[in-house]
Structure 1
Amino acid sequence: MGLREDLDRFREVGERRREDLTEFIRHGSLGGSDPDSIEIPIKVVDLPEFEYDPRDRGGVGQGQDGTPEAGQPVGQPHPADEGEDGDPGDEAGDHEYYEMDPEEFAQELDEELGLDLEPKGKEVVEEVEGDYTELTRAGPNSTLDFERLFKQGLKRKLATDFDEEFVREAMRVADATPDDVFRWCREENVLVSRAWVETEWETIPDDERGRWASFEEMVAAVERTTTLERIHRDGLRDVPFRREDERYRHPEVTEETEQNVVVVNIRDVSGSMRQEKRELVERTFTPLDWYLTGKYDRAEFVYIAHDAEAWEVDREDFFGIRSGGGTRISSAYELAAEVLEERYPWSEWNRYVFAAGDSENSSNDTRENVVPLMESIPANRHAYVETQPGGPAINATHAEEVERAFEDSERVVVTSVADPADVTDAIYEVLSTEDDQ
């Protein structure tokens, strides 16, 4: 194996050392990524290389001044230079990153967790596509569909055309009147108007009237030509165009639904939400945001923090805020309802409302306020993530009450995260099923 093959093999090994996606979500550093680029660490494999030391040390095996003779004991080693004593360093090791966009992240998470979320289209977007295939009754002359106009006129001509010479011969029947001729034409399915018969009646010379004793004798003696035969003989003339046949071509306009999603992230920032609980919220919510960004054409996010009151914050502040106040979870849902109604109507936006906290809430707030609010906010999915390291506390009943209230609904999911190992299971529970209504 040559040096080039060795180099390629080392590179391949390095790329395969990318951190496992599940382990990255559970234990990796999520803060180094942004919504459009997810950085997953890979272990660096140093490539072998030759180094040339330019210092003059003489030839191989050649001694220098002061070099001991063969068999002479070697003295104590010289002390290392200052700063080279080998103390442990305090600098971070080198890292490289595998950059993944949200679409790739969503695809890999689907494969990793067995998810199959199909985004739904909501907002209608009109797009003009290609050919002029739509027809309307008005438009500029340059878009007149003349081919259709000609066909309609030709159909009318074929439907109303008749053998004029044949009808004129019928006017030469003895004792016939214009009314007799018109009646006879109707009986023979000759589509001629009474006005035409009356006009042409005057053109027949008097000495030609009485040529035929009856209409039967005339029919037997005179050959009747078809419309097709007359067109072949005389050509096509006087196609009857009418305004009601005019149609104007317009470009085909198709309506497509854009896959839009808004994600409302709600977090309890009260005094009981200590650092470990906050980190579990971030470790759960961040991959959910990345996943939905990768799944939808357009994703927007709303971040709401609350203690006894609620307020909207930036994403940069969302995971770090901590207050000393009490907890009233319904305040966050009241604000979420206002934001969604004003900025993200249900008819145009897919909605996900994710809330997280340690399941502590003020007395009766869950049953009397939160549950009715969740019922009144249309969304693809409501989720509550309980973050309680070490297991649920005695007075932390919010998750249990929500789960009990919506036990028959696939639109609401309640899950628990006690340590980072639970995060991917919680993500799967939140995303694995979705109510189609």
Structure 2
Amino acid sequence: MGLRDDLERFRAVGEDRREDLADFIQYGDLGHSGADEINVPIKIVSLPEFAYDRRDSGGVGQGDGDTPDVGQPVGQPQPQPGDGDEEGDPGEEGGEHEYYEMNPEEFAQELDEELGLDLDPKGKTVVEEHEGPFTDLTRSGPNSTLDVERMFREGLKRKVAMAFDEDFVREICKVEGITPREVFEWARAERLPVSMSWIERAHESVADERGTWASIEEVEANVDRQPVQQRIRRDGIDHVPLRRDDERYRHPEIVEERERNVVVVNIRDVSGSMRETKRELVERVFTPLDWYLTGKYDTAEFVYIAHDAEAWAVEREDFFGIRSGGGTKISSAYELAAELLEAYPWSDWNRYVFAAGDSENSSNDTSERVIPLMEEIPANLHAYVETQPSGNAINATHAEELEKYFGPDAEDVAVTYVNSADDVADAIYDILSTESEPDE
């Protein structure tokens, strides 16, 4: 590999190469991003180049007058101007970064592609109605909207259904002594769609040839029947019977444009057991979820609830940093969520309720209060994220109880476990891929 190959390799790594989205949400710095702008770091890599020593080194084979003889100790090397940092130890400074800016819509689209998601937001509130394509049919309307093609098609189907081998029936009429009634009864037995009046006219038209055949059996043994399709191809169709019942008039379908509204309730346990690492894992899951849903919906609003044994609403900038010394009662957060969601009617808003903690909860609160409240609060999706970096504590049973009650295949409840940053992307996928079709 030559210098040019190295140069191309460095360019491939360094020029506007940002972190993969999955790596970014798991390990990247989320602090440089806001609600409407996501900044993904781009690592700036310096291209290799020759460096020339500007110091006067003398001629070939010459020293600077203080060069020791061969074998003479030279001591420790001394730092030279320009070597290392001017202050501090070499290598202390981190790599230089720039940022690739994307809005929530772009973030949601790329996360769909990277994680294989396919969330299709449903509109709730009707904001506009307009005429769509002329796909609906009615029995009345102006002549200009008459569906002539359909009318002709129905008549043609009737013509084909009414067709029969007329030549063969005329041969039956030539049987010695046969009457029109006998021909009609034979035709009915053969399921031929022929009328009595047609048979009477055919019977009369071959009166001079009566006696050509001794019996119907003799006709069937000596005359080949011709399939209807073959006769139509040969003779064509002289007319298509059209009926008024076949008339249909096209009119436009009424299309409703619906605004896709979503409210996201983020719930976080801030009790004394939720230490820094656990709080950081919650932020790594909830922040990309907020960005994703903002990008998917026309209107996205967020409610943030912190709780220990009691619950209170907080602003987003305070949500991830709060820590209290109290105990834990998760149902208090769902009671407050139910109250706050009254401002966002289920008929008009899509709803997501995301909760996170270390699964520690007061005795019987999960089964007696939290689960009934989750069932009472209509939502596209309820989710619980357990964060236990050091492994499950003995009394950390909330997530397990939810999973046992709702089952692993629940379509509107997701339970996921995040023990380290490596689990974040999988947790987001588990949550967003669980959503069922919302009720209209």
* TMscore range, shorter length: 0.5 to 0.7
Once the two structures are TM-superposed, the CA of residue 391 in structure 1 deviates from its matched residue by: 2.6
Contact 2:68 2:74 in 1 (8 A): no
CA gap 1:67/1:427 in 2 versus in 1, 3 angstroms: same
Matched residues in 1 for 2:349 and 2:284: separation?
26
Q: Deviation digits for residues 60-86 of structure 1, max 9, x if unmatched?
A: 769798587999989768843699676
Contact 1:68 1:74 in 2 (8 A): no
CA gap 1:57/1:101 in 2 versus in 1, 3 angstroms: same
Matched residues in 1 for 2:418 and 2:64: separation?
70
AA of the residue aligned to 2:429? Y
CA gap 1:66/1:316 in 2 versus in 1, 3 angstroms: same
Deviates more, 1:375-384 or 1:82-91: 82-91
Count of residues in Structure 1 that have an aligned counterpart in Structure 2: 315
1:102 aligns with 2:112: no
The residue that corresponds to 1:231 in the other structure is none
Q: Deviation digits for residues 298-331 of structure 1, max 9, x if unmatched?
A: 2111111000111111111111110000111111
Matched residues in 1 for 2:415 and 2:55: separation?
72
Once the two structures are TM-superposed, the CA of residue 348 in structure 1 deviates from its matched residue by: 1.1
Spell out the pairing of 1:320-339 with structure 2 (5 A cutoff). 320-339=321-340
* Aligned residues with identical type, % of pairs: 71
Contact 1:37 1:100 in 2 (8 A): yes
Bigger-Rg structure (1/2):
1
3-state SS in 1 of match to 2:32 = coil
TM-score normalized by structure 1? 0.63
Contact 2:359 2:398 in 1 (8 A): yes
Indicate the RMSD between aligned Cα atoms, in angstroms.
Answer: 3.7
AA of the residue aligned to 1:44? I
Once the two structures are TM-superposed, the CA of residue 50 in structure 1 deviates from its matched residue by: 7.7
CA gap 1:255/1:63 in 2 versus in 1, 3 angstroms: same
Once the two structures are TM-superposed, the CA of residue 338 in structure 1 deviates from its matched residue by: 1.1
In structure 1, the gaps of 5 or more residues are 131-147, 149-251
The residue that corresponds to 1:412 in the other structure is 413
Contact 2:58 2:64 in 1 (8 A): no
Once the two structures are TM-superposed, the CA of residue 21 in structure 1 deviates from its matched residue by: 2.1
3-state SS in 1 of match to 2:31 = coil
Matched residues in 1 for 2:423 and 2:92: separation?
32
Deviates more, 1:102-111 or 1:5-14: 5-14
Matched residues in 1 for 2:12 and 2:81: separation?
40
3-state SS in 2 of match to 1:31 = helix
Once the two structures are TM-superposed, the CA of residue 46 in structure 1 deviates from its matched residue by: 1.3
Matched residues in 2 for 1:276 and 1:67: separation?
58
Spell out the pairing of 1:52-131 with structure 2 (5 A cutoff). 57=56, 66=65, 79-80=78-79, 87-126=89-128
The residue that corresponds to 1:380 in the other structure is 380
The residue that corresponds to 2:150 in the other structure is none
The residue that corresponds to 1:218 in the other structure is none
The residue that corresponds to 1:401 in the other structure is 401
Matched residues in 2 for 1:265 and 1:6: separation?
48
Q: Deviation digits for residues 111-142 of structure 1, max 9, x if unmatched?
A: 22221110110122137899xxxxxxxxxxxx
Contact 1:269 1:307 in 2 (8 A): yes
Spell out the pairing of 1:3-18 with structure 2 (5 A cutoff). 11-15=11-15, 17-18=17-18
The residue that corresponds to 2:231 in the other structure is none
3-state SS in 2 of match to 1:429 = helix
Contact 2:354 2:382 in 1 (8 A): yes
AA of the residue aligned to 2:79? A
Contact 2:329 2:362 in 1 (8 A): yes
Matched residues in 2 for 1:361 and 1:406: separation?
18
Deviates more, 1:269-278 or 1:79-88: 79-88
The residue that corresponds to 1:287 in the other structure is 288
Matched residues in 2 for 1:75 and 1:390: separation?
53
Matched residues in 2 for 1:404 and 1:75: separation?
74
AA of the residue aligned to 1:88? P
The residue that corresponds to 2:307 in the other structure is 306
Matched residues in 2 for 1:268 and 1:422: separation?
19
Matched residues in 2 for 1:37 and 1:380: separation?
26
Contact 1:330 1:365 in 2 (8 A): yes
The residue that corresponds to 2:354 in the other structure is 354
Deviates more, 1:64-73 or 1:364-373: 64-73
3-state SS in 2 of match to 1:270 = coil
Matched residues in 2 for 1:83 and 1:57: separation?
15
Matched residues in 1 for 2:338 and 2:375: separation?
11
In structure 2, the gaps of 5 or more residues are 133-141, 143-252
AA of the residue aligned to 1:406? F
The residue that corresponds to 1:204 in the other structure is none
The residue that corresponds to 2:365 in the other structure is 365
Matched residues in 1 for 2:76 and 2:387: separation?
58
The residue that corresponds to 2:272 in the other structure is 271
Contact 1:126 1:253 in 2 (8 A): no
AA of the residue aligned to 2:333? A
Matched residues in 2 for 1:335 and 1:71: separation?
84
Matched residues in 1 for 2:293 and 2:300: separation?
7
